[in-house]
Amino acid sequence: MTTGLAGTAPLLRFALRRDRVLIPVWVAVNTLLVLSMPNTLKGLYATPADRADLLGQLATNASLRALIGPVFDDSLGALTAWRVGVYAGALAAVTSLLIVVRHTRDEEESGRQELIASGMVGRRASLTAALLAAGVANAVLALLVTAGLARLGAAGALAFGLGLAGVGMLFATTAAIVAQLTESARLARGLTAAVLGAAFVLRAAGDSATDDGSSVLTWLSPLGWLENLRAFADERWWVLPLFAAAVAAQGAVAYGLAGRRDVGMSFLPTRPGPAAGALRTASALAWRLQRGGVLGWSVGFFLAGVVYGGLTDGAADLVGDNAKAREIVERMGGQSSGLTDAFLAAMIGMLGLIATLYVVASVLRLHGEETSGRAEPVLANAVGRLRWAAGHLAIAFGGAALIMLLAGLGFAAGYGKQVLPILGACLVQLPAIWLVGGLTVLLYGTAPRLAPAAWGVAGAILLVGWIGPALNAPQAILDASPFAHLPKLPGGEMAWPPVLVLLGAAAVLVAGGLAALRRRDMTT
């Protein structure tokens, strides 16, 4: 007779082996995001006067506090924790939820968990292995961040590293609970991401109301706990037990739920469909499977556009007379003059970079349908592979256009000016987004086992576009991103040749991927 945790060790080794690419890539991106910031901030705010001016602006700029959070000290370490804390914490949360859902609900949905459970494996072993895998990822992140920032202050570096790990593990246990409640891995990821989004909104609302993080709304958010840990600013060590208590409480709930259900079942079963099927085409099925994701990304991009648009008028005040800050904004926006247009172009370009994550996720839904065995019964009917794939690709590429259009409308609503130029600037990001989508199609069609590597490509492009200009990276590195070749709008001149080249390259990649898909065997 096995105990509830029997078989945890081999399952953990197996999980780490499966995630030998995912965990190092996500942890490396997060670490580079954090460790690249001190040198950038040192150049931006080199003098005490510059730092004092920044603190004064934050005290009066509620929109900026909502976007990034308050700053509690003018030291380089405190400014680093302020600038990247919220986003590094959110990235740790995303990494953790992906790991946990992959090794719990994904395994059950694919049928592999049933085979594993037939051996000498305890009922809670898979959940334990998933949480331990997430713990390994967060521990490595904490170790690297602490070691990298130790020169700014050992205590602050340790507090910041542990805070990031705390956020990651809190959302790992959140994902563990949601995975017990839902039947679908896709829904589990979506609901946990929605909890993360709510945490960001609560923190933003609280920080916009106060300049010291003391709002009740801020304390209702784990991201607010991270900023109130006050790394490098007279650390509040008593905040760390809040993370520990929340992780322990949520873990206990997840373990309790895991012991009360059968493999493959859930506490919130999927609602049965109508007696007579309403999905008559492969495209309709693809839309039914992906509509939730499209809706979530659309709402998120519209709201992001509203927030960034609202910050535009204050961009000049924020940068002030700081020549280096102005240079970075203008470098990102591609403008030699006109700070407002440069800020708009930089923020729109950032949303374009993030949109590559949507198109990769949407295209890889084909891979998920194939490896889970759901594609086979569809293709067994009078549905060709190209028609089946076309339904998902239409949503991937058309959805990218939709979310960028909604981002433009959000910018226009928040800024209230230059509606048509802003919409044009958002839509001109599409050739680069579609190029990444085309590369994903090619990987999926030619080498489906390598298809998840598209996440690495999207992550590298995001990293180059986000951090490259701030670090004054060589132009050769910046040019490796397709976004570097797009015209910088609004304010810049429209250049059609690079746009057409990128569109043509995207079309060639999609055609190559579909041709390979048509010839190869499907995964069984």
3-state helix, strand, coil in the chain (%, to 5): 75, 0, 25
Element (H, E) at 433: helix 430-446
pLDDT on residue 1: 40
Which position has the token pair 């729109």?
348
State the virtual CA torsion across 294, 296, 298, 303 in degrees, nearest 10: -170
3-state secondary structure of 280: coil
Tell me the sheet residues that pair with 182.
Answer: 268
pLDDT on residue 66: 76
Structure tokens at 239: 């905040």
pLDDT on residue 335: 58
d(Cα 155, Cα 161) in Å, to the nearest integer? Answer: 10
Q: How far is C-alpha 59 from the geometric centre of its chain's CA atoms?
A: 29
Side-chain-side CA neighbours of residue 199 (13 Å): 24
C-alpha distance from residue 514 to each of 27, 130, 455 (Å): 32, 35, 19
pLDDT on residue 130: 92
The Cα angle at residue 222 between residues 221 and 228, in degrees rounded to 5: 90
DSSP state of 382: S
Q: Is the peptide bond before 272 cis (omega within 30 degrees of 0)?
A: no
pLDDT exceeds 50 at position 391: yes
Lowest-confidence pick of 198-202, 269-273, 352-356, 440-444: 269-273
pLDDT on residue 169: 96
C-alpha distance from residue 394 to each of 353, 368, 449, 520 (Å): 20, 17, 23, 22
d(Cα 286, Cα 396) in Å, to the nearest integer? Answer: 10
Using a cut of 0.85, tell me whether the model's pTM lies above it.
no
pLDDT > 70: percent of the chain: 88
Average pLDDT of the chain? 84
Q: pLDDT higher for 238 or 343?
A: 238
Q: What is the secondary structure of 138-160 as a DSSP string?
A: HHHHHHHHHHHHGGG-HHHHHHH
